[in-house]
Structure 1
Amino acid sequence: MQDALRKKYDDLLEILRSYKSVVVAFSSGVDSTLLLYAAKEALGQNMLAVTASTPSIPRRELTEACEYCKRIDVEHVVLELDQLSVPGFKENPSDKCYICKKAIFRSFVDLCREKNFCEVVEGSNLDDQGDYRPGLKAIAELGIKSPLKEAGLSKAEIREISQSLGLPTYNKPSYACLASRFPYGELITKEKLALVDKGEQLLFDMGFKQFRVRIHGDSNYIARIELLPEDFGKILSQDLRDRINSEFKSYGFAYTSLDLKGYRTGSMNETL
């Protein structure tokens, strides 16, 4: 690890030690995995991991979270939360992330108090300040700590440190809540979340690493696949096109399309 990154990682450990004990919001993503690892190094048994199990979390992500906590011997709590029952969420307003994060992290705060821990920490980094992210407002309102951001770590630096530490997520693609696949104002339902999850799992099983399956329509659902441009040639092969079209239709998509602009985060924010 380069000296500058070692200094930032040491700063992260000191920040975590200053909290005395923590509940780590753990999604099994790149950021929260480094945060969890650092919390264990800094605090030993004075920490635990918590993951929200919701209809909008891909099943493979929840499985990975559980398996990783077992692997490194960290106490792990999985909290069941039905986002669709949270007032205002399923109507899919532009601030749905705020509504969702407020509900999820409020449950984390309750767990923190119940277990007599001092702070809830989460994995936002410096780069998260760029896009439209109303969820950060909820985190701030609840007093949740963001140690990676406090230590001045960017996404690229988090990946580099993770690789140096041998963490399995150092090159893991970025994933987001499945509810982010819906155009604002279109109703979020368990049925449609399941369609997106199945579609993305198929692409994952086919070897694609970075992608999104956006869903459009309240009936006759349209799947809009976003891929890295370098993967366009692969998906346009006859065999893969036929399989994807057939599988997506069996899931419940009436039509399947490829977004020619390619994968990008926050593409649903382009209409705001």
Structure 2
Amino acid sequence: MTIEQKLAQLKTLFSQMDQALIAYSGGIDSTLVAKIARDVLEDRALAITAVSPSLLPEELEDAKVQAAQIGITHELVETREMDNLNYTSNPINRCYFCKSELHDTLKPIALKQGYPYVVDGVNADDLQDYRPGIQAAKERGARSPLAEVGMSKMEVRQLSRHLGLPWWDKPAQPCLSSRFPYGEEITIAKLQRVGRAEVYLRKQGYNNLRVRSDGNTARIELPPEQIKAFVLATDLSQLVQIFQDYGFACVTLDLEGYRSGKLNRVLSQQS
């Protein structure tokens, strides 16, 4: 099936909904969902972004700009997953408690304002990974239009480009809590230092990266083909000092390079 055919299916889905509230993070998936919902439903589509310490301020600003560009009504709501020990203790199903908080916050808003559906940006590829948050969303009646039509992450980018969205190649940016190994407590201070470190590296021109936190050690992950150039071009002593100013004691570079979902390897090792 072509992306044009899947686009037609998505439009049909939204026309059948009549009204929809979009759980909108500003990532490429939820932004595509918001764009199509706005095109089909016009002012009967509402995008809401959850604001919490696990969302970079820069990502929030991107979400605002993108929502304005596609013309969808955009609102912000605060979520309080950091108040839940089931979340901050960082168990392997941490995302379940995050998405539970998100949808327990959005569903009453949707009901109060007359939106029969809450939809998210889960795509078909997400269903193949370990994503306990998807279960939490389904339990609360959320729908995932991209997954429903079988749209992969690559197709999301292709369709976004086809529709003229300038952020079609935007790197994936999951919540900052994904930077910590399971079992390490998550705190606001830790989230902030990871976030500041990643923003610093992006300003140096490295967009597709992660700064993983392991205790007081920062582990930088870059695409493998960029590692050599990074080492040659970077003042390493200055980098270490900057990261130490952020609150890290040590800074390391992952020689394997960036791999999405790397922290989930421990799950397969335990099974």
Q: Could you tell me the TM-score, scaled by structure 1's length? A: 0.95
- What is the CA distance between 1:244 and its match in structure 2? 1.9
Which ranges in structure 2 are unaligned for 5 or more consecutive residues?
Answer: none
- Which residue in 1 is equivalent to 2:180? 182
- Which residue in 2 is equivalent to 1:90? 88
SS of the residue corresponding to residue 199 of structure 1 reads helix
- Partners of 1:86 and 1:103 within 8 A in 2: no
- Which residue in 1 is equivalent to 2:169? 171
Partner Cα distance (2:222, 2:235) in 1 = 14
1:117 aligns with 2:115: yes
After the TM superposition, which of the residue ranges 72-81 and 88-97 deviates more from structure 2?
A: 72-81
- Which residue in 2 is equivalent to 1:247? 242
- Which residue in 1 is equivalent to 2:160? 162
- Partners of 1:56 and 1:193 within 8 A in 2: yes
Which ranges in structure 1 are unaligned for 5 or more consecutive residues?
Answer: none
**C-alpha distance after superposition, 1:114-164 (max 9, x if no partner):** 111110000111100122111111011011000011111111111111101
SS of the residue corresponding to residue 205 of structure 2 reads coil
- Which residue in 1 is equivalent to 2:63? 65
- Which residue in 2 is equivalent to 1:260? 255
SS of the residue corresponding to residue 87 of structure 2 reads coil
Match of 1:137 among 135, 138, 142: 135
- Which residue in 1 is equivalent to 2:100? 102
Q: Could you tell me the TM-score, scaled by structure 2's length? A: 0.95
Partner Cα distance (2:85, 2:76) in 1 = 22
Partner Cα distance (1:240, 1:163) in 2 = 36
The alignment-based identity, stated in percent, is 38
Read off the aligned partner of 2:201 and give its amino acid letter. L
Read off the aligned partner of 2:146 and give its amino acid letter. L
Question: How many correspondences in the alignment?
Answer: 267
SS of the residue corresponding to residue 30 of structure 2 reads helix
- What is the CA distance between 1:110 and its match in structure 2? 1.2
- Which residue in 2 is equivalent to 1:234? 229
After the TM superposition, which of the residue ranges 92-101 and 77-86 deviates more from structure 2?
A: 77-86
- Which residue in 1 is equivalent to 2:210? 212
Read off the aligned partner of 2:89 and give its amino acid letter. E
